[in-house]
Amino acid sequence: MRWERTPSKFKTGHWRELWDSNIPDLDTLKCQARSAAFVTIDIHGTRNCPIEFGLTCFQIRSEAQTTLDKIEAPRTLADIAATNRFQTRCFRVEGKELSSRHREKSFFEFCDTQVVPADKIEEALALSLESSKAAATPNLILVGFGMAEVMKYISQHSGLAQHFSFWVDAQELVTDMTKVATPGVADTLIALGFGGDKKAVIPVDLGRRAGNHSVRVAAILLSIATRSQDMPLKITQPAYQARRKKYLRMQKLINQQPTWQSRRRKRRNGPQFVADVVLSGGEPLNLSAASLLNLFSEYSPLDAGTSKSGKIGWISLPSSETLVNFIQQVNGTEALDGRVWTAVADYDPRVFEAYAEKIMEEKKEKHNPQLTEKKLREREAQKVYKETFDWDETLVGPNPEELAGLLI
């Protein structure tokens, strides 16, 4: 969000000093970075009920530019966090639980989560900011990526405002550099060379953890602040639109197509090219059917599902060629949480060939005029017989084929 004199979403009179200390552009940011440290904050939860707070403190050191130039794409969050000494903390409100799709326990690796009572959360954040000041510099710059929710929280807890000297929205800096109206975190990280890091670019459906997201925002700010001027940042509009269209298309597919609950859904329009997927260790996938559709969307899946135990997933693919490619490319690869995928084809060509022969016979019978005429004659004979005699299945009557011959 950009600075404005009277924002509509929150009040600023009681913390006006910080609100007016906005860093509007990249040049001002580079000047302030020489004598300040940065703190990225991410808040996860509902609009009026925060659940998790993530903070990452770092400084832009003089050797950062040289270090980043040596790291060839694809970069990783782990490398940039270790090289620039990111200090990450995560606080969760006691008694508040994350939804199942946000519980990335093994994926959450940048720091441990500290559970704090709701009435002590502001105090815990203040102590964390004070320790960051003591370890780095008295001047702290508040950083976010789309800061409406963060600023609203600070407006409600204005005691936190005194710990910061300036604030900057990294999303607005990226907008100025790329001319894309509302760039996303994933699109920006891909443009900065983090596209190969699965911990940086996660599927939309998996949501986010506050501590992890604060590291992603810190990596974005550090990268754009130390980027050479002769290296323009490009989020190409066709690629940006393609990612958005793909997401909307998958959402439409998820809403329209039924998914398996505990067993496969039988399809009447042909055989299914199904692959079974499991993760090493025998633990549940922690993925819904919709998540599987998003995760393997590049293979154009027709349907997906999970077992009641959640340990086995199924992917229905459009053709045998796609099934073979899926098995070859997914089996043995590493998942987001570090476990290994095992993909097995649940498809027997012999069954398919027998099924295909049956379908061909039905089509021939349907399009054979002689067979069709014979069936009509038999139905007419049965109708005449029912009208002539009292029909009783226990009694043996004339052969319908012979009766049909009498009607000619």
| Residue-wise pLDDT tens digits, 192-243 | 888 778 778 775 545 578 888 899 999 999 999 888 777 888 886 555 566 6
Predicted confidence band at 181 (pLDDT cuts at 50, 70, 90)?
confident
pTM of the model: 0.58
Q: Position 244: which residue type?
A: R
pLDDT at 257: 43
Around Cβ 15, how many Cβ atoms within 10 Å? 20
Backbone phi and psi for residue 50, each to the nearest 5 degrees, phi listed first: -65, 140
Backbone phi and psi for residue 154, each to the nearest 5 degrees, phi listed first: -65, -35
Q: For 207-340, list the strands marked E by DSSP.
A: 273-279, 303-306, 313-317
- The half-sphere exposure of 385 on its side-chain side, counting CA atoms within 13 A, is 21
Rounded to the nearest 10°, the torsion over CA 331, 334, 337, 340 is 50
Around Cβ 127, how many Cβ atoms within 10 Å? 12
Predicted confidence band at 255 (pLDDT cuts at 50, 70, 90)?
low
pLDDT at 109: 65
Distance of CA 322 to the CA centre of its chain: 22
**Residue 93 to residues 43, 51, 89, 298, 356, Cα–Cα distance (Å):** 11, 5, 14, 37, 58
Contact 271, 355 (CB under 8 A): yes
Contact 398, 386 (CB under 8 A): no
- Model confidence over 279-297: pLDDT tens digits? 887 778 888 888 888 888 8
CA–CA separation, 239 and 257 (whole Å): 26
> Which distant-in-sequence residues (6+ apart) come within 8 Å of 72 by Cβ?
193
- Model confidence over 33-91: pLDDT tens digits? 888 899 999 988 766 788 889 999 998 876 554 444 444 445 788 888 888 889 999 89
Q: Where do runs of H (alpha helix) occur along 265-408?
A: 289-295, 320-330, 349-367, 369-388, 400-406
User: Does position 258 have pLDDT exceeding 50, yes or no?
Assistant: no
pLDDT at 281: 79
> Which distant-in-sequence residues (6+ apart) come within 8 Å of 213 by Cβ?
42, 44, 54, 185
Buried b (16+ CB within 10 A) or exposed e, 2-13: eeeeebeeeebe
Q: Position 262: which residue type?
A: S
Backbone phi and psi for residue 44, each to the nearest 5 degrees, phi listed first: -115, 135
Closest Cα to residue 120, out of 128, 109, 112?
128
Quote the radius of gyration of the chain (alpha carbons, Å): 31
Rounded to the nearest 10°, the torsion over CA 232, 233, 239, 240 is -140
CA–CA separation, 80 and 223 (whole Å): 9
Mean pLDDT of 350-374: 59
- Model confidence over 132-180: pLDDT tens digits? 887 767 789 999 998 888 898 888 888 899 999 999 999 999 998 888 8
Q: For 134-291, list the strands marked E by DSSP.
A: 140-144, 166-169, 273-279
- Model confidence over 112-136: pLDDT tens digits? 788 899 889 999 999 999 888 877 6
> In this structure, what token pair is assigned to residue 176?
């100025």
Around Cβ 311, how many Cβ atoms within 10 Å? 14
**Residue 369 to residues 23, 160, 402, Cα–Cα distance (Å):** 81, 84, 20
pLDDT at 73: 46
Predicted confidence band at 251 (pLDDT cuts at 50, 70, 90)?
low
Question: What DSSP element (H or E) covers 113?
Answer: strand 113-116
